[in-house]
Chain A
Amino acid sequence: MRDITLILLAAGCWIVAALLPLVPPRKEGRISTVLGATGSLLAIFAAAHALLGGTPTHVDFYFWQGPVRLELDALSAAFLLPLHLVAGLGIVYGLEYWPVHLAKGSGRSLRFFFGCLVAAMSLLFVTRNGLLFLVAWECMAISAFFLVSTEHLYPEVHRAGWVYLVCTHTGTLVLTASVILLAQRLGGFPWVPLPGGPVGTLDVWILGLSLLGFSFKAGLLPLHFWLPAAHAGAPSHVSAILSGVMLKTGIYGILRVSTLLPGPPGWMGGGLLLLGALSAVYGVWNALAQRDYKRLLAYSSVEHLGIVAMGVGLGWVGRASGDPLLTALGFGGAIFHIWNHAIFKTLLFFGSGALLHATGTRNMEALGGLAARMPRTALLMFPAVLAVTALPPFNGFLSEWFLYRGLFASLRGGDSWSAGVALLALVFTGGLAAVAFARFYGVIFLGEARSAAVDHAHDPSLLMLVPMGILAVLALALGLLALPLLAVLDRIVAVLAPGSATPLASLVGRDLRLLLPLEVGLLALGGALLAWLPRRATQVETLPTWDCGYAAPTARMQYTGSSLADGWSVLLPGITQRVRSIRALFPRAHSFHSVVRDAVGDDLVTPWFGRLTARLLRYHRLQQGILSIYILYVLVALMVAFLWLLLRSKLPG
């Protein structure tokens, strides 16, 4: 059976899985879960087959009298793989996390829109027609809106949903313009790559508009403001698919459009490199200051999408300057990082879902000491925390290694100050990410309980733990067994930059052959130490984690999340802190107060919309509520149009 047929079959499975919870014999959703998981397995099989050397397969048909081609090539497969991994694990995870029989039918609607989202994204990644792409894009965006506003009875979730809807539609508006221009350039809506040639002004416009429209979805810097609230407010397995896959549809769109046109000009690549660097630093810096751990993860997604954008920018620079090395490292690093981010961010969101399930709060200052109460969750989250901070031997390390190699190569090539800035930004990002996630893990899992919320915390059941375990194993496996992946990445890079890239195996193969045994050795050493250490401590004594010599230590004397982040987050533009210095010998009660707002969303966009609303209220008196007045408006408009038509024919010229 051909690969593309399998993908369509998988999408069909998901649609049926979406519809099943709606029809009368409303069971607990086991059948729909099995169907969804089967669909995902089929799609993973097809995508893996396409990546491991299968030729691109396609089907052709007619849609709205226009020819449509659905094609599965290496680039599509590279995005379908993480989609169906996250979706398949997510629906299994959701079986316990968000049961179908939850209050007021939200479980059923969640199932329905989850299935729609997966099917729409599957279609999105294989379609080669501008119109159908927009249709799939809208289906995806609307399903995601309903998923985000699952808990719309909470006002902040309600608001997050609407902000997301407005943002995604603004993005779609821009994309529509870009798709129409692209249709003019290609001579029709079917997306057939143009033969290479000089880059025209129209091409630059198309690329610029697509970049604008897609970066709404990808959450690149000035357009990221919808993202933290939406991802924090959605149910956790939905946050996982939104963050792990849906954000990357923006990157997919940028990449796909750029393959259709002659290569983007070098300055655009440099610009995207800088934009990505800015997003990465901004995202991780904000992540550092968050108290809500799901918001922290959402900001970390802004950071990682920035890193992916840096890879794409580097690839464009390489393609424009005809440097095969940069092209391979940039695109290869971007795609590899997309996979890695999908794995560890999904694991982190699943883990945070387990935390939320157990404690009922998203405020990390209320947690603490959970490693003792939820040992399995803590153990499974640990690889994710290491991977997200790009530490060896986990997968995040390798994809950032690709980027470092590429940026250094670009520096050596001369004339690229953008690569220098991006390099510094990447270093800075890595450092801040380490602090942010040390804080995340430390405050939540270590120390003592900070509130009563953790009293009854316990590990979730296997239905939630097994998907997390699979992801944790994958995070380690991709880090250790990356060598065979190089050939696969080469195949994807060949789609992105036809015939102009050197194989990655010859570029980073030697590094990996050196690095990987080292990592395995270190891992083995660590394992041996771990096995050896407990034998030394024969008796275990239970003591408070930290008492610093105080006579009566309390849990409130611990480092809080805010105090850990204090050194870095005070410089953040959106943070306001109010603290009075304590002077007297016997000070009275004092308070500390700190608010983190998004420097773009809360400080720029919201006031701007407020002013716009105030300005538009002036026209409210036009709406009198009297029928005659409305008809008068129609009459006046008619008369004006009529007179204008007459006068226009009279006027000279």
Chain B
Amino acid sequence: MFTDFLIALTMLTNFTLVATSRVNKAIQLAVFQGILLGLIPIAMGLGKHLHILLVAAAAIAVKGWLIPFLLRRAVTQAHIYREVDPYVGYTVSLLLCAAGTGLSLMLAHSLPLKPGSTPTFLVPAALATLFTGFLLLVSRRKALTQVVGYLVLENGIYLFGLLLVEDMPVLVETGILLDLFVGVFVMGIVINHIHVAFDSTDTSYLAELKD
């Protein structure tokens, strides 16, 4: 019951994410979503496995403290506080996100699942979060908001991982976390370089680099 509540909150966070224009708020929401996801395995009653507990703690630590720390530093360095003039407007984004969530709910039932697993909201929520992450990555112009989109995308993958969490070796989960950390780290460096080179973090300037 509590699990479903957390999942519903996650999906609602998706909607708020695509509708927000302030960078700081987007980061806060991504952090909130990350912490929610860290709580889900404990709510699912998997707390008795020590390794899952450890991974959940690590997820909360990385997503709730390390990554926002890096992102906030980037924000203060680059002086970007608002996503102005995205490729896709906020209203359209919201509609697209709604459509994606609806599609996920519909499709989730026809997905072949592991035999014996009970159908939950986990699958549609994972799909919807993945879709939201992609939407943010595609529709936003600023590198920082794209990093947030990347975080959300990883959250979706993490949700999928929860389906298999009992069989999944720790290695894979920590792999996801490490991947995420390295991704954000590298993008942080890239943001800094774009900022230095073009005096802006608008990724559309990168089009000048193509041959």
Contact = CB atoms under 8 A, between A and B. Distances in A.
Interface of A: 623-629, 631-632, 634-635, 638, 642, 646, 649-650
Interface of B: 87, 107, 110-112, 134, 137-141, 146, 203-204, 206-210
B208 A625 contact: yes
A631 B208 contact: no
B171 to A, nearest CB: 24
B138 A625 contact: no
A627 B112 contact: no
* Across the A-B interface, the 6 shortest Cβ-Cβ residue pairs: A625-B210, A625-B207, A635-B134, A631-B137, A632-B138, A628-B138
A514 B206 CA distance: 81
B203 A649 contact: no
Given A628-B87, A628-B137, A628-B140, 11 more contacts: A624-B207, A625-B206, A627-B146, A628-B139, A628-B146, A631-B134, A631-B137, A635-B138, A646-B110, A646-B111, A649-B110
Contacts of A632: 138
A646 B107 contact: yes
5 contacts: A624-B207, A625-B209, A625-B210, A631-B134, A649-B112
A632 B112 CA distance: 26
A638 B138 CA distance: 14
B183 to A, nearest CB: 13
Contacts, number: 39
Nearest to B130: A638
Nearest to A623: B210
Contacts of B134: 631, 634-635, 638
A642 to B, nearest CB: 8
B206 A626 contact: yes
A626 B206 CA distance: 7
Nearest to A625: B210
B107 A627 contact: no
Contacts of A642: 107
A627 B110 contact: no
Name the residue in A624, A627, A628, A629 with the highest tally of chain B Cβ atoms < 10 Å from its Cβ.
A628
A631 B152 CA distance: 14
A649 B113 CA distance: 13
Given A632-B138, A635-B134, A627 B206 contact: yes
A626 B203 CA distance: 7
Contacts of A635: 134, 138
Name the residue in A627, A634, A646 with the highest tally of chain B Cβ atoms < 10 Å from its Cβ.
A627
B210 A624 contact: yes
B207 A626 contact: yes
Nearest to B146: A627
Nearest to A631: B137
A627 B210 contact: no
A629 B210 CA distance: 13
A631 B110 contact: no
Nearest to A632: B138
Nearest to B110: A646
Contacts of A649: 110, 112
B209 A628 contact: no
